[in-house]
Structure formats: C-alpha cells, structure tokens
Copies of this chain bind each other. A is one copy, B any other.
C-alpha cells in the first residue's frame, strides 16, 4: 500500500473513445499535480519520492462529479476539474474528469473510497 496517491475521477456517462479518455485523464493528472506542487508541496514531495501511484475511478455523472469537487475544495485538497475544448466527440465545455492530489491515501479514501476502479 502506498502512503500517497493521486485519484482521477472520470464521468462514466460520457462515451469517450480510448484515446480521448486517456488525454482527458492526462490533463487532470498534470493539472492536479501542478496544483499540489504549489499548494501542498510536502504531499507532492512525498508522492514523488514514493512511486507516484495513480488510480482512475468512475463516477455516475456531472452532478456527482461537481459535488465531489465541492467537498475536496472545502477540505483544502488541491484538485483540477477538466473541461473539454470540444474539438472532437464532445460539446465544448463538457466537464470530463477531476484530478485530486496527490494526497495521503487515507484522506483520499474518505472522499473517493466508494468509487469503483475504471
């Protein structure tokens, strides 16, 4: 078990192709790492020294994704909500996924422990 992980939460109600999905998840991962590096440097450093664990989980729809974002914002956890530019497959501005942390695994599990792996 790793002490730190990054969680990427993806809307399962969107029908994204493999490549599209991968790019959205990568956006979330990079942006949320940047936020964490700035605002929680000790979490970032610990995660970099560990094995940079990432997991990808799914959530029902946009409403639940935004609700989750509200909760992690309130808790002061760095995160990044990704909207697609809409050049392919999706409408412009479609919210696709949320990157959270990296953060301590026990804190992560409080917010995302009930979500299934993608």
Q: Contact between A118 and B18 (Cβ–Cβ < 8 Å)? A: yes
CB distance from A22 to the nearest CB of B (A): 4
- Chain A, interface size category, equals 20 to 34
The digit string for A19-34, where 1 denotes a CB below 8 A from any CB of B, is 1011101111111010
Pick the interface stretch among A47-55, A60-68, A69-77, A104-112. A47-55
Q: What is the chain B residue whose CB lies nearest that of A28? A: B26
Chain B neighbourhood of A85, CB < 8 A: 51
Q: From B10, B18, B28, B117, give the contact of A21 (CB < 8 A).
A: B18
CB distance from A5 to the nearest CB of B (A): 11
Q: Contact between A30 and B27 (Cβ–Cβ < 8 Å)? A: no
Chain B neighbourhood of A51, CB < 8 A: 85
Interface positions of A from 1 to 39, Cβ below 8 Å from B: 8, 10, 18-19, 21-23, 25-31, 33
List residues of A whose CB falls within 8 A of some B CB: 8, 10, 18-19, 21-23, 25-31, 33, 51-52, 54-56, 85, 117-118
Counting from the closest, the 4 A-B pairs by CB-CB distance are A19-B118, A26-B29, A22-B25, A19-B56
